[in-house]
Structure 1
Amino acid sequence: MIKRLWAAVEWATEALLILSIVAMTVMCLAQVGWRYLLGDPLIWSEEAARYLFVWVAYLSGWLAWKHRAHVAVDIVHYLGGPLVRKASEALVEAVVLIFCLYTFYTNLGLLRLTTGQPSATLGLPMVWVYAGYSVMALLIAGDIVVGRLSGGRLARDPVEEVQAS
């Protein structure tokens, strides 16, 4: 049950990531088109694209964690045999989980501070921009917890990938 629920969360997050990249690309193209073809730049598109980029960066950080594609996570696999690999995976996950939960907690102060602060052009509450980090931290923590509760996750093994190719 928890794996199915988590799979739905992952699917929705990946869909949001794709839609954000598409929206950001369309906004940037519209900005260029309006500026050079019509001689009148869009005022809002640059700020909107920038804030979408912030969210894309955070959601991509979670996606890289999900696929264990971060360099620091990959390098641990080269330390030794399966026992060392399993122990190092558990250690990395524990450190990352503690870091994510701690920074999520500390980021709540920033979110409270920026609740009433509007962005310069759009008037968007800045809390929505800064919430991207908290979402990423919760997604990474959720990946670790759900993976452990469901009997461990199957992390991709870069050593076997290199040997297979």
Structure 2
Amino acid sequence: MKCFFNRFKTLFVLFVLFFSNEMQAQQNNTTAPAEPQFWDKVQFGGGIGLGFGSGFTDISLAPSAIYNVNEYGSLGLGLQYKYLKQQNSFASHLYGGSVIGLLNPLPEIQLSAELEQLRVNVNADGSNGNSQSFWNTGLFLGAGYRSGFATMGVRYNVLQDENNIYGSRFMPFVRFYF
């Protein structure tokens, strides 16, 4: 009987030690969560575009990154390259960068402001003798519907004039950030 009580005491002590450690572990988990690091708030995205038609080619690549300041606002930078060609008319290379600000007043609504600066190189008739190079600036204000990683909407170029490279002040867009 004495042997039984010694084993019982040993099991009881082990049982108490085991559950006291479990209780301590649960109490230690009540500390405040760690503040997110810089890279935890960065998202990468952008777009790729391909357009082909009767003697027309449009290829674009536009990577970008945003920093989520909080759940309502983000700031970011982007790069852009675009190749346009109309057979027997012109060939053009556009490249540059942009700064973007995003505001999400509601989870599904995204407002944006984007300043874009592009270098435009146009070869008007296929010969190097009739080429032009110039800078083009666009300031776009936009609104879109956001669902998950994607936003679809329209933006408006407030700096559009007759010498601008865009055909219209209004431009549809689709943005992806992961």
Is TM (by shorter chain) over 0.5?
no
TM-score of the superposed pair, with normalisation by structure 1? 0.18
Report the structure number with the largest CA radius of gyration: 2
Quick check: which one's helix share is greater?
1
Which structure dedicates a bigger proportion of its chain to strand? 2
Q: TM-score, with normalisation over the residues of structure 2?
A: 0.17
